[in-house]
């Protein structure tokens, strides 16, 4: 659920009012965190903090009211996620645990804990979408952005965003409700 923002919250933040910054974070923070978690970020909380440090440092440049702030915030979030993906590609993988050498008959505590993080299966279903569909669905559903703003953030046309959303939702529907003909 998104915390409703007073219409003057952006103006108050641009004037430097600390309570307004708090309101903006409370309203937009959970959606930004959800976006990073849905994309499989290694540290969604840290990235969320980075986003708000950037947004708050550039709050004076935001135009378009609350809608413009939301678009700007998720543009920064998307850029931070792309940075994280690039950083991961350049960083060597550290392997500390060798599965082949483990002779235990039960799962490790880490495996059990990680398996319970996604009890609903949403993360594994999102992982089955292509990157573009996943980005669109996370920005449209988790961030609650309109199609035009998602198109602006992703550098695509509104029609392209609509198609990606439609295909992504159809794929998710397929995953949730397999064809009845397959069950026969």
pLDDT at 15: 93
How far apart, in whole angstroms, are the C-alpha atoms of residue 81 and residue 153?
12
Confidence check: pLDDT of 179 > 70:
no
pLDDT at 174: 86
CATH class of the domain defined by 120-177: mainly alpha
Q: Please report the sign of the dihedral spanned by the C-alpha atoms of residue 152, residue 154, residue 156, residue 159.
A: negative
**Three-state SS at 56:** helix
- 83-140, pLDDT tens digit by residue? 999 998 888 766 666 666 666 666 655 555 555 555 456 777 888 899 999 999 889 9
pLDDT at 105: 66
Residue 88: exposure state from Cβ atoms within 10 A (0-12, 13-18, ≥19): exposed
Domain 1-91: CATH architecture, name and number where available: Orthogonal Bundle (1.10)
Structure tokens at 124: 């594994």
Domain limits, the chain: 1-91, 120-177
Per-residue H/E/C for 122-142: HHHHHHCCCHHHHHHHHHHHH
């Amino acid at each position: 659920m998104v915390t409703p923002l007073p219409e003057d919250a952006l103006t108050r933040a641009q004037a430097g009012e600390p309570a307004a910054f708090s309101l903006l974070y409370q309203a937009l923070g959970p959606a930004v965190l959800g976006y990073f978690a849905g994309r499989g970020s290694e540290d969604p909380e840290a990235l969320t903090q980075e986003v708000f440090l950037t947004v708050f440092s550039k709050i004076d440049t935001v135009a378009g009211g609350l809608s413009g702030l939301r678009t700007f915030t998720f543009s920064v979030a998307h850029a931070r996620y792309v940075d994280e993906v690039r950083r991961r590609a350049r960083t060597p993988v550290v392997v500390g645990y060798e599965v082949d050498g483990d002779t235990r008959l039960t799962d490790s505590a880490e495996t059990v804990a990680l398996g319970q993080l996604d009890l609903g299966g949403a993360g594994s279903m999102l992982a089955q979408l292509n990157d573009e569909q996943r980005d669109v669905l996370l920005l449209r559903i988790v961030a609650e952005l309109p199609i035009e703003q998602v198109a602006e953030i992703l550098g695509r046309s509104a029609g392209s965003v609509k198609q990606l959303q439609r295909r992504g939702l159809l794929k998710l529907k397929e995953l949730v409700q397999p064809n009845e003909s397959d069950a026969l």
